Amino acid sequence: MWNGERMDAIAALAWTALDCADPVALAAFYTKVTGWPVDDSESDDDWVQLLSDSGPTLAFQRVADYQPPVWPGQDHPQQEHLDFAVNDLDLGEAQVIAAGARKHEFQPGHMFRVYLDPADHPFCLILR
C-alpha cells in the first residue's frame, strides 16, 4: 500500500499504446482531443505516436483482426481506459463528438461522462 512517500523509480512512463485497426485515423482523433501533434519521426502506417507537451504520450498500434472492447461488460473487457479532465462537461462533450467520438448510452456518474473513440475504446471526460 502506498503511504504517500515517493519511491525510487524503476522506469518512466513513456506512452500508453492503444490497439486499433487504423493507427493513423485514431491518432488524428486523439490529436484533436489533446492538441498533441503526430510525431512523424516515430510513426508509420502500423505505429503512430503523438508528441506530448507534458511528458508521457499516446501511441496507436495496428492489430490484425482488431476487436474493440465492450463496455460495460466482461465478454471483451476494456482492461484500461483514458480519462481527460475538462472545465466544462457540456463543452468538452460537444468538442469530442465533433472530433469523432460517440457518447456511450451507459453513463454511470454525473461528474464524468463515457464516450467511445473511433476504434470503440471507452474514454471519459472528467469534470475538474
Domain 80-128 sits in which CATH superfamily?
Answer: 2,3-Dihydroxybiphenyl 1,2-Dioxygenase, domain 1 (3.10.180.10)
What are the respective helix, strand and coil percentages of the chain, to the nearest 5? 20, 25, 50
pLDDT on residue 20: 93
What strand order describes the sheet that includes 57-62?
15-20, 57-62, 47-49
Residue with grid cell 486523439, as numbered in its chain: 30
| Averaged pLDDT, groups of 10, the chain, 128 residues long | 64 82 96 96 91 92 89 73 90 95 90 92 88
Alpha-carbon gap, residue 14 to 32, rounded angstroms: 20
pLDDT of residue 9: 65
pLDDT value for 42? 83
Span(s) in the chain for CATH 3.30.720.120: 13-64
Pick the CATH number of 13-64 from 3.30.70.890, 3.30.720.120, 3.30.465.10, 3.30.1490.100: 3.30.720.120
| Residue appearing with cell numbers 495496428 | 62
pTM score: 0.78
CA 68 to mean position of chain CA atoms: 13
What cell numbers appear for 18 in the block? 492503444
Instruction: Please name every residue paired with 19 in a beta bridge, in sequence order, or none if there are none.
Output: 61
Q: Which three cell numbers stand for residue 23?
A: 493507427
